[in-house]
Amino acid sequence: MPERSRRVTVDRTPARPYTRPVGPAPIAVYRRTIAASVARVWENVLDWEHLPWLHRTTFAFVDARASGPDGWTAETALVWDPAHPVVVEVTLDRAELCYHTRTIAGPGTGTDIVTRLTPLAWDRTGIEVTFGVPDVPPDAVERVGRVYTTLYARLWDEDEGMMQRRQAVVDGVLPTEPLALAVDGHTLEASGVCPHRGGPLPDCVDGDGCITCPWHGYRFDARTGAGVGGHALRLAPSPTRR
């Protein structure tokens, strides 16, 4: 095997000054304060898996193509328009405390939604969302802008509750939530805190004898506590039959 060369080629081309890409003109801005830390917001932004579950009234599905610590790319569709999927790219700029949600394929390609974060306290974050949407006729700007701000108000409402519970999980102060699952004539006692990220597990067992977490859709067998559908998590503490 040839020895690896130790020679290093140095590129002495002068660096070009950074120019921020120019997106479409903003049609609306949405501002609010979220009762959660910046850390919880970043966690939520990277958590593509929760979109079709926590936001089940908005997203029909999410099919991730790539994900990492600085963002993700996924195909998704809105519940009211499932026949026209889009590809969305989310990129974080932690240094600038902002992230972009860009539509890179499908209807609305070129849309660039920029969310800026302002830390206000350990458990409060200011949010400013600027909606850059291409090709909106001037007489439709107000109406389309209202659609976006109304949608984002609902999404952030749903996310805020999740982030607050997540903080309690991270801090170890979430109250005990015993769960009693009645199936096949037996009752299984388990923790009602999902072993994935701490979501609130329901006590309603489906026809397959399983329960489904409302945050990311992980399923658990209510007879054994074992994970169903390919994940290795199980209900905690170890379930016992009575």
Helix (H, G, I), strand (E, B) or coil at 31: strand
Tell me which of 74, 129, 181, 194 binds ligand FES, using CB under 6 A: 194
Q: How far apart are CA 142 and CA 26, in angstroms?
A: 11
Instruction: Please choose, from the candidates 216, 235, 213, the residue with its C-alpha nearest in 3D space to the C-alpha of residue 224.
Output: 235
Near ligand FES by CB under 6 A: residue from 131, 165, 197, 205: 197
* Residue with Cβ nearer ligand FES (130 or 224): 224
Among 152, 215, 222, 225, binds ligand FES (CB under 6 A): 215
Residue 196 in contact with ligand FES, rule: CB under 6 A:
yes
Does 48 help bind ligand FES (rule: CB under 6 A)? Answer: no
Q: How far is C-alpha 182 from the geometric centre of its chain's CA atoms?
A: 32
Of 116 and 219, the one with the shorter C-beta distance to ligand FES is 219
From the list 93-101, 106-114, 125-133, 196-204, the region that binds ligand FES by CB under 6 A is 196-204
213 binds ligand FES (CB under 6 A): yes
Distance CA 40, CA 38 (A): 5
Q: Is 199 in the site for ligand FES (CB under 6 A)?
A: yes
Count interface residues toward ligand FES (CB under 6 A).
Answer: 9
Which DSSP state fits 47?
A: -
Q: For the chain, how many residues are written? A: 242
Answer yes or no whether residue 133 interacts with ligand FES by CB under 6 A: no
What is the smallest separation between the CB atom of 168 and ligand FES, expressed in angstroms?
A: 13
- Per CB under 6 A, 52 contacts ligand FES: no
Q: Which of helix, strand or coil describes residue 232?
A: coil
Nearer to ligand FES among residue 44 and residue 103 (C-beta) = 44
| Residue 40 φ/ψ, nearest 5 degrees | -70, -35
DSSP string, 53-98: HHTTTTEEEEEEEEEETTEEEEEEEETT-TTS-EEEEEEEETTTTE
Interacting residue ranges for ligand FES, rule: CB under 6 A: 194, 196-199, 213, 215-216, 218
